[in-house]
Copies of this chain bind each other. A is one copy, B any other.
Amino acid sequence: MSRPAAKGRAAAEAEVTRVSDATLCGFIGYHMKRAFNVVQADLNQTLKPLDLRMVTYSALVLIVDNPGLRQSQLAEALDVERANLVVIIDELEGRDLITRDRVPTDRRAYALNPTLAGRRLYDRALEAVRGHERRILNGMDEEAKQAVIRAMSVIRRGSEGG
């Protein structure tokens, strides 16, 4: 329809010197993926000295901010399967960053609570991640940041209310 067919045919014979991603650049999702790859890579490097990954970091933050929450609540908040959360919690508990406390009123459930070491690591991790964001956003002004947050929220909302 809109694609100039002649160009494609002609170019097929010649050498491709510079690969054009112009079509993909027309999509927001493409830009998001490329940018997020960068963010993820840098964040994981940032967290490596603290022996944390993205998920363990997020889990720790949510546990410190919401002490006493259940594993199922955390799983839902993190958007991971309950089953897959187990190993994450195992890791944090094994490092004495959190405790699994039985809930007297519901003996099926565990209440997750941070230890002192967990809170200390939380503080260190938060500082590190703030630095990471300063680095990757590289002087982006506040207005631009807010615009991104608004846009991301629009995308997230859209998936809820079908």
Contacts and interface: CB of A to CB of B under 8 A. Distances in A.
9 contacts: A1-B123, A16-B66, A21-B77, A31-B156, A32-B35, A34-B152, A42-B159, A136-B159, A144-B150
Contact of A152 (B22, B32, B138, B159): B32
Contacts of A19: 62, 66, 69, 73-74, 76-77
A65 B154 CA distance: 31
Interface in A18-32: 19-24, 27-32
Given A33-B39, A135-B158, 15 more contacts: A16-B68, A16-B70, A24-B62, A28-B39, A29-B36, A32-B35, A32-B39, A32-B152, A33-B36, A37-B79, A38-B155, A38-B159, A42-B159, A138-B155, A138-B157
> What number of copies of this chain does the assembly contain?
2
Interface string A98-116: 0000000000000101100
Interface string A113-149: 1100001000100100100110111101000110111
